[in-house]
């Protein structure tokens, strides 16, 4: 597991689970004091605004070799309160232990969707991750991100690992999450094993949203294959959550299969010191290419509450 260089050169998706003995995670996980890992884009400003909610579009394209099983990403959206969106990405390294990596992410998201209205969660995405994790008994691990919008426009985000979220306003990215990883391609992850991270390791942030803002949430299959300027371009072109989500997922899928595309993933790999062999560098070659992966995209358009007619609707993938 430790020698990962060949996989980078192949630019294949094979994210690493933390190396550890298969010790069962304690089932006595208790929700304790929250460690806040704030980010520079957090905003404390607050002013009176009309009530808002989210109009959703979602699109999932599984890794081609995993399409028959639906891939290992899982997600849900809910119109509870101002709106909830969440993605978990099952860590594929579990397959070498004959564990289906999809089971953990699917159970985690299923539990999270049921716990959205839980009193102890109190509409806090970090607590939601903690309680959903504690209720998950599948073997495996996953990165996970949850965002919950208050009707007053405050978007509360909790993120463990390298799923991501962007907020776009008037053609610009005004908020971006930062991936958490132990080393390249080994993200922070919620795990069935005690060595994994917990909800207390989440990056948490509040972002003040306005009507018309667009939220783009994705698994790393999106952000490893699509640059922010491309996200801005597509969202601006469609300005419709359903069409934008499909267009972003399609673009990510096309880039992921393009061996000649200098993707965000290949740029990051080279920045971390991974590249083609020396003799190829002499010939002017470099490590490039998209990264095949499960691709999940959720686009949320912030709308006036009166524009979003069905408050009970929820969907899961
Ligand atoms: Mn992924």
Distance CA(219)–CA(269), nearest Å, equals 18
Distance CA(179)–CA(203), nearest Å, equals 9
Nearest to 32, CA basis, from 152, 126, 155: 126
Residue 147 burial (10 A CB sphere; 0-12, 13-18, 19+): buried
Distance CA(192)–CA(37), nearest Å, equals 23
Q: Mean of the pLDDT values across residues 54-72?
A: 95
C-alpha distances in Å from residue 224, one per residue of 149, 227, 233, 261? 26, 8, 17, 11
The pLDDT, as a whole number, for residue 279 is 85
Give the rounded distance of the alpha carbon of 127 from its chain centre: 17
Coil vs helix vs strand at 215: strand
**Over 50: is that where the pLDDT of 167 sits?**
yes
Per-residue pLDDT tens over the stretch 227-267: 999 999 999 999 799 999 999 999 999 999 999 999 999 99
d(CA 279, ligand 1 centre) in Å: 31
d(CA 45, ligand 1 centre) in Å: 34
Q: What is the pTM of this model?
A: 0.86
Give CA angle at 261 (70, 189), nearest 5°: 45
CB 294 within 8 A of CB 71: yes
Distance CA(232)–CA(171), nearest Å, equals 6
Going along the chain from its start, the domains and CATH numbers come out as 35-217+293-316 (3.60.40.10)
CB 302 within 8 A of CB 239: no
d(CA 282, ligand 1 centre) in Å: 32
The pLDDT, as a whole number, for residue 22 is 36
d(CA 108, ligand 1 centre) in Å: 16
Per-residue pLDDT tens over the stretch 9-40: 334 434 565 553 333 333 333 333 333 344 44
d(CA 62, ligand 1 centre) in Å: 10
d(CA 219, ligand 1 centre) in Å: 6
Please report where in the chains the tokens 């460690």 appear, as a residue: 35
Nearest to 225, CA basis, from 269, 264, 257: 264
Mean model confidence pLDDT for the chain: 86
The pLDDT, as a whole number, for residue 213 is 97
């Amino acid at each position: 597991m430790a020698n990962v260089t060949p996989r980078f050169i192949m630019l294949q998706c094979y994210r690493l689970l933390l190396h550890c003995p298969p010790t069962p995670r304690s089932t006595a996980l208790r929700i304790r004091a929250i460690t806040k890992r704030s980010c520079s884009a957090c905003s404390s400003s607050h002013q009176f605004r009309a009530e808002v909610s989210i109009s959703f579009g979602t699109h999932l394209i599984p890794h081609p070799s995993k399409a028959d099983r639906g891939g290992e990403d899982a997600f849900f959206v809910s119109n509870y309160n101002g709106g909830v969106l969440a993605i978990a990405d099952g860590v594929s390294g579990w397959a070498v232990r004959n564990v289906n990596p999809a089971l953990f992410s699917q159970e985690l998201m299923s539990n999270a969707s049921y716990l959205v209205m839980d009193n102890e969660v109190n509409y806090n995405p970090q607590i939601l991750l903690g309680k959903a994790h504690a209720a998950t008994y599948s073997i495996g691990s996953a990165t996970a991100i949850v965002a919950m919008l208050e009707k007053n426009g405050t978007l509360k985000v909790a993120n463990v690992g390298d799923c991501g979220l962007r907020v776009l306003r008037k053609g610009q990215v005004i908020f971006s999450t930062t991936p958490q990883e132990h080393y390249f391609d080994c993200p922070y992850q919620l795990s069935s094993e005690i060595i994994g991270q917990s909800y207390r390791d989440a990056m948490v942030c509040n972002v003040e949203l306005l009507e018309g803002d667009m939220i783009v949430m994705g698994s790393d299959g999106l952000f490893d294959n699509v640059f922010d300027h491309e996200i801005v371009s597509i969202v601006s072109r469609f300005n419709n959550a359903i069409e934008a989500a499909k267009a972003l997922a399609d673009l990510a899928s096309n880039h992921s299969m393009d061996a000649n595309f200098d993707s965000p993933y290949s740029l990051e790999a080279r920045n971390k010191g991974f590249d083609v062999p020396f003799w190829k560098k002499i010939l002017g070659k470099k490590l490039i290419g998209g990264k095949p992966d499960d691709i999940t995209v959720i686009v949320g358009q912030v709308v006036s509450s009166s524009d979003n007619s069905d408050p009970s609707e929820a969907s899961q993938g």
